[in-house]
Amino acid sequence: MQTMPSNNHNPNETRSLFAPARLGPITLRNRIVKCGTNEGMSRRGLVTDQLIAWHREFAAGGVGMTTLAYCAVSPEGRTFADQMWMREEALPGLRRFTDAMHAEGARASIQIGHAGWFADPAATGTAPLGPSRTFSPHAQAFSRAMTREDFERLTSAFGESARLAVAADFDAIEVHAGHGYLLNQFLSPYNNRRGDEWGGSIENRARFPRQVFNTVRQAAGAAVAVYAKLNMDDGFSGGLQIEESLQVAKWIEADGSLDALQLTGGHTTRTPFYLMRGEVPLQGMIENQHHWARRIILKLFGRQIIRAYPFEEGFFLPQARRFRAAVSLPLMLLGGVTKLDTMEQALAEGFEFIAMGRGLIRDPDLVRRMESGELRASRCVPCNRCIIEMERGGTRCIYR
């Protein structure tokens, strides 16, 4: 077992949004985190000047920490060909990234994970792997059920990726266990249909993610914060439900492997807009779809298979409150947080950090403008066209 994090939730603590705050062994200048949002700006799996400049805006705009997303721990864990993946060749660019964020006074986090079942065979050159052999609509292929050798190899890959992140001077490491990525696939009975020690009960389904969290913690050492993006629920019947996720959070806390949890929800291949809310930009999704079969499916059945969810300010807050009541582990609130009032309310209710995506993409300098009193809310409208832009040269707000 690991040593329990020292910054456990204190219900009597008064938190200021713009004051320095501890995240495990590091201190952030404030409690606002730019969460991981796929940028679409890496090339050949490496950092680019465009990627650094994009994140530099958030750092210069005042966030406490910005998150480089999504970095696969191995080449077969990618969802598109140019996606970042962790290896020695990537180190120079990663160091340039952290240097740039630190120069602006922000901490730098890196999101590591594996796409598993929905990795793109056209990008990886191999069939996707996952907990079980099931057909992946996204990959348009059957996944290969992981073997004992795969468990050992991928656990080591997560550890090696953490080592590389430390070598690149990242302050924090986020392990992706949400949104239908591999670790979430193990937690979800929709993907995990195994009958061995890695499947069945929630204790067995949580075994691999917990093993990975412990491995990353050990590889990261004592000077770097480690946290996970964890699904509270998958957003559909047959997926991971909140009661099971609450139990997983309790086990993680007991393990002492993580310094915080960033709470999220939704499954990329089943409920992609559960984690976004707002408009579904279907026409742009069709135009950007390079796989002929997926393009036809979207044209014919897109409105039926992609469910829209109405946007509400702080839409994950009701579920997240159950986690706040169940564990003392520091929590990052994510999901439609755009207003200063919502942030202050969340801190008053015991959440330690606020994680933002689209609100900052619309207003990269939002934190400084809020602190100065110029703005009390992001000007983001949940049109979700920013995600369409990812495949048109890089994620951006069309209203900027």
Domain ranges for the chain, please list them: 21-392
Residues in Cβ contact with 92 at an 8 Å cutoff, skipping those fewer than 6 apart: none
Q: At what angle do helices 49-60 and 91-103 cross, to 10 degrees?
A: 20
Neighbours of 142 (CB within 10 A): 15
DSSP lists the bridge partners of residue 276 as none
Structure tokens at 141: 């292929």
Structure tokens at 246: 């609450």
Fold of the domain spanning 21-392:
TIM Barrel (3.20.20)
Mark whether 181 is an active-site residue. Answer: yes
Residues of the chain with pLDDT under 50: 1-7
∠ CA 213-214-219, rounded to 5°:
100
pLDDT of residue 387: 87
Distance CA 218, CA 2 (A): 9
Q: What type of residue is 163?
A: R
Distance CA 174, CA 165 (A): 10
Distance CA 394, CA 54 (A): 9
Predicted TM-score (pTM) of this structure: 0.94
Residue with tokens 């796989």: 291
Phi/psi at 226 (nearest 5 deg)?
-130, 125
pLDDT of residue 12: 56
